[in-house]
Each structure stands twice: as C-alpha cells, then as structure tokens.
C-alpha cells in the first residue's frame, strides 16, 4: 500500500503521542521554571538580606574615626571579615585614594563601577550579583557615616565593600534544576502511557473503519462495524454502517433488476428456441415446394424460410450473450495448431481461394484454445470483413510478447475496404450497434462482434478494431498462449 507508507511516517498515532508529550513537557517545564525562579529568588534574597543587614550592622558597630588611616583600617576590615554572614566575605574599603581590604589584594576585581556609583549615591548601601569566571558573587557597597554629636550623622567619603561567594546558593539552585529535570523526564515517560492509550482509542476505530471500507470496496457490501460507546467515533461508525446499508440495498436492487433483465433475455431466447426448432426442421420442405407454387405464394414461402433461418441465428446469438452475462459460458480448451484451426474455419465456410481471403499462417503455433469459440471469432471477423470491408481480406497469425511480457497469439483480420469511421470505432463491439444508420438490419444478428469480444475475453485476451495506414479496417485478436493464466 502506497498510502500506508505515506501515513506511517507522520500518522495519527505519532502526532497524538507528540501532542501529548508536548503538552506534558510544556506543563512540566513551566512548573519547573516557575518553581525554580521562586525558589532561587527566595534563596538568594534570604542570603542577600542576611548579608546586607549583617554588613551594615558590622560597619555601624565598628564606627570609624577620622581621619581614616590605612593602618588601622586593615585591622578593622579583618575584624569585620571574620563576622561574614551567611558566608565568609572579603571586605574592602575605599576612601579617596586609599584602598584597603581584609584579603590579599587591596582592590577587588569583582566590584563593578555601577556598584560604586549606586553605593556612593545610596546612604543605605547597594548590592549587586556578579558572576565572574563562572563563580557567582554577592557584592555589597555601603557608605559610612560619622556620628557628629547626638542624633546627627554626616556622610563620610569612606565606602565599605563586601564580596561574598554564593556557591552554596548556586549549588542549591543547581539541585533544584536537577530535581526539576529528573522529575520531568519520568513525568514525560508516564505521559506516554495515556498518550498511547488515547491514540489507540482513536486509532482502533479508524483502523476498523479503514478495513471495513476496504472490504466494502472489494465487494463485500454486508460489512459492518461494531459500534462502541457514544462518542464521535461511534457516531462515525454508525454513519458508516447506515451508508453501507443504503449502498447494499441499492446495489442489491440494481443487481436484481439486472438479474431480471438477464433472466428475461435468457427466458425469451429459450422460449423462442422450441418453436424455432420445429420451424427450422421444415424450412427445407418449404424451399423444395416453393418452385411448384404460384409466384406470390412462392415468394411468401421463401421469405418465411429465409427469415426463420435468420431468426434461429439471432436466438442462438441471444442465448450465447445471455450465457456470457450470467457468467455461465464455459471454456473448453484444447491444445491446437492455431494455423490449422484458422484454415479449417475458412474451409468449412468455403472462404478459400476465389473468395479472396489471403492467409499468412505460420505452421507449428500451438495454443490452448476453445476450438469452437476460436472458430466463431475468426468466422465472425472474416465474415464481417468480406461483407462490410472489401476484398482481398487477409488473415495473419503470429506470436509476440505483450507489453507485460505475456506471450500472446495474435490473429489479425484486415480488409481492403474504406475502413471504419472514427465515430463508429468506439461502439463497434456494442450489441445491436448499427454502424450504418441507413442499414436498418445487418446481415448478421447485430450481436456478432459483441459475442466475439466476449469469446476473446473468456480466453483472457483482447480484441481491438482500427484502421490500417494504407486504408481498410483491421481487427486484432490477442489471446495468451497459456489460457490457464486467463482470469475470470
């Protein structure tokens, strides 16, 4: 199935599962992200607040005397550095051109100019989170004030800075992320189960529908689907069943009508056969006696005799056609020499020699044929060629490989007449088709080519009509050399 290959890549199941997973992933991701953000902020803020408050307290406890001297400043800074909360910190002081720190280098590389600016502008200090070389730091800047008498403070130009590594918080946050990830993946895996279940609950009815449709297509019109539940798919199944029922009914009606028409044709021809058998048995008597009767009576008698003969042919043809229609036609094959068979057909009908039927029949071509039916086919085509075409009529026989590689026996009957007009060609094998509107009744029954077509089909072959480039009609019969391979 081509369509299967196409739908399999992005079928309903895959799309449903993907949709489910996407929803699950989005919800898990959103939840995790929100949780992460909140938790991270809470963690960091707690740490920040603690750090900023304790730093401020430490500075206030310290109290700095003026003028600032760098010797004492170092000790003071180290004093503050011991009291870092929640983590150890390194303390820096900046006063004009004086730089001091509790650490090894007097100037921090982590403190940014922005912090310096905002710390100088903000009496309550400022802080900033900085990530340097993959390590997160909290930096705090705090301007100091001097007590100038009771209740008065004066800002000094001394700004204190604390730099604190926030690795623990980072670890906590990382743990959060890991937890979110580890929770999300099993969550997605678990989401697969309802996704597959949902896909199955949708797909099973769909698959049943497809199988049912295919089964209907192959002619089993009594196919029905089990309706489960009352959802849209059940509704679909119900609709399908109703439509199938309707279709079955109308096809059944058509079939019955066709069957009646067939039976009628068959019954009529059967009924006609008996009186004809009696009439045909005595036509000879009429023909013999006609000579001794007065002209009018003789004419009438001859007419009855002639028309009885034609009627017998017509009824025989009608019965043949109704047997084809009822698929009751049997193929009684025998292995025969095709050239020999055609020669016999022409001989039996006295179409040899002076009647102008030329033959190109290579000997030794053996084929499985129904000799009686093949005889009828050749006789009908040659008879038509002699009647409607023009002499010489040529019958050619050859074998060749059909386009699908099947070896076929090709029989060609060509005449030298005016050919078949284009508007007649498509209908030439129709029953009772009048190729010539002026000719009210053909010499034959009007069923000859229709029967020929059916006879060839019964052999699994084809027959087609056309015109030769040089003028004249040509009928080509192709019959598979091994008739067992024929279908139907």
Partner 1 sequence: MPRVLLIEDDPSVREGVELGLRRRGHEVRSAATGEAGLAALGEFRPDLLLLDLMLPGMNGVQVCRRVRESSQLPIIMLTARGDDFDVVVGLEAGADDYIVKPARTEVIEARIRAVLRRIEDFAQGPGGGQGRAAVEVHGELAIDRAGLAVTKSGRQLALAPSELKLLLHLSAAPEQVFSRQQLLEHVWEHGYHADARLVDACVRRLRNKIEDEDGAPRYIQTLRGFGYRFGPL
d(CA 187, CA 181): 10
Can residue 336 be called a binding residue for partner 1 (CB under 8 A)? yes
Can residue 283 be called a binding residue for partner 1 (CB under 8 A)? yes
Question: Quick check: 479 and 409 in contact, CB under 8 A?
Answer: yes
Q: What is the CA 369 to chain-centroid distance, rounded?
A: 43
Can residue 485 be called a binding residue for partner 1 (CB under 8 A)? no
d(CA 221, CA 232): 24
d(CA 418, CA 427): 17
Here's the x/- map for partner 1, 365-394, by CB under 8 A: it reads as -x-x--xx-xxx------------------
Can residue 23 be called a binding residue for partner 1 (CB under 8 A)? no
Which lies closer to partner 1 via its Cβ, residue 335 or residue 360?
335
Question: Quick check: 320 and 451 in contact, CB under 8 A?
Answer: yes
Collapsing DSSP states into helix, strand and coil, what is residue 226?
A: coil
Question: Quick check: 358 and 374 in contact, CB under 8 A?
Answer: no
Which lies closer to partner 1 via its Cβ, residue 126 or residue 314?
314
d(CA 327, CA 458): 10
d(CA 395, CA 346): 10
Binding partner 1 (rule: CB under 8 A), the pick from 70, 348, 352, 421 is 348
CB of 347 to partner 1, least distance (A): 8
- Count of residues in contact with partner 1, rule CB under 8 A: 40
CB of 395 to partner 1, least distance (A): 15
Can residue 395 be called a binding residue for partner 1 (CB under 8 A)? no
Can residue 411 be called a binding residue for partner 1 (CB under 8 A)? no
Here's the x/- map for partner 1, 237-276, by CB under 8 A: it reads as ---------------------------------x--xxxx
Collapsing DSSP states into helix, strand and coil, what is residue 1?
A: coil
Collapsing DSSP states into helix, strand and coil, what is residue 364?
A: coil
Q: Could you tell me what percentage of the chain is helix, strand and coil, using 3-state DSSP and rounding each to the nearest 5? A: 55, 20, 25
Can residue 486 be called a binding residue for partner 1 (CB under 8 A)? no
Can residue 197 be called a binding residue for partner 1 (CB under 8 A)? no
Which lies closer to partner 1 via its Cβ, residue 196 or residue 279?
279
Residues that bind partner 1 (CB under 8 A): 270, 273-285, 288, 309, 312, 315-316, 319-320, 323, 328, 330, 332, 334-336, 341, 344-345, 347-348, 366, 368, 371-372, 374-376
């Amino acid at each position: 199935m081509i369509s299967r290959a196409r739908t399999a890549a992005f079928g309903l199941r895959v799309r449903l599962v993907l949709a489910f997973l996407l929803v699950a992933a989005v919800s898990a991701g959103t939840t995790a992200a929100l949780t992460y953000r909140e938790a991270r902020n809470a963690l960091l803020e707690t740490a920040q607040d603690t750090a900023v408050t304790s730093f401020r307290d430490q500075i206030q406890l310290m109290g700095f005397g003026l003028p600032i001297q760098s010797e004492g400043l170092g000790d003071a800074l180290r004093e503050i550095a011991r009291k870092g909360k929640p983590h150890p910190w390194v303390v820096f002081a900046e006063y004009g051109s004086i730089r001091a720190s509790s650490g090894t280098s007097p100037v921090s590389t982590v403190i940014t100019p922005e912090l310096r600016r905002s710390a100088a502008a903000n009496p309550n200090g400022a802080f900033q989170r900085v990530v340097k070389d993959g390590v997160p730091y909290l930096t705090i800047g705090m301007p100091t004030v001097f007590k100038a008498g009771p209740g008065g403070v004066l800002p000094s130009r001394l700004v204190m800075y604390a730099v604190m590594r926030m690795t623990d918080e980072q670890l906590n946050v990382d743990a959060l992320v890991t937890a979110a990830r580890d929770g999300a993946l099993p969550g997605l895996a678990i989401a697969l189960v309802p996704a597959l279940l949902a896909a199955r609950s949708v797909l099973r009815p769909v698959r049943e529908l497809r199988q049912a449709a295919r089964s209907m297509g192959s002619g089993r019109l009594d196919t029905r689907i089990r309706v489960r539940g009352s959802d849209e798919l059940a509704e679909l199944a119900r609709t399908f069943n109703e439509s199938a029922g309707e279709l079955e009914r109308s096809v059944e009606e058509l079939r019955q009508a066709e069957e009646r028409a067939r039976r009628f044709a068959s019954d009529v021809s059967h009924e006609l056969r008996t009186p004809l058998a009696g009439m045909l048995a005595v036509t000879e008597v009429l023909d013999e006696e006609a000579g001794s009767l007065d002209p009018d009576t003789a004419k009438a008698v001859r007419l009855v005799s002639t028309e009885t003969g034609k009627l017998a042919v017509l009824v025989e043809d009608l019965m043949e056609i109704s047997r084809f229609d009822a698929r009751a036609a049997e193929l009684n094959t025998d292995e025969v020499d095709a050239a020999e068979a055609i020669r016999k057909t022409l001989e039996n009908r006295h179409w040899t020699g002076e009647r102008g039927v030329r033959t190109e029949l290579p000997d030794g071509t053996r084929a499985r044929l129904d000799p009686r039916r093949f005889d009828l086919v050749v006789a009908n085509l040659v008879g038509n060629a002699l009647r409607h075409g023009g002499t010489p009529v040529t019958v050619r026989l050859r074998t060749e490989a059909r386009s699908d590689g099947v070896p076929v026996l090709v029989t060609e009957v060509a005449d030298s007449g005016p050919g078949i007009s284009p508007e007649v060609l498509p209908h030439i094998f129709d029953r009772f088709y009048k190729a010539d509107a002026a000719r009210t009744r053909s010499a034959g029954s009007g069923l000859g080519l229709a029967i020929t077509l059916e006879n060839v089909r019964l052999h699994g072959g084809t027959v087609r009509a056309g015109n030769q480039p040089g003028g004249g009609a040509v009928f080509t019969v192709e019959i598979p050399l091994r008739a067992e391979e024929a279908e139907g």
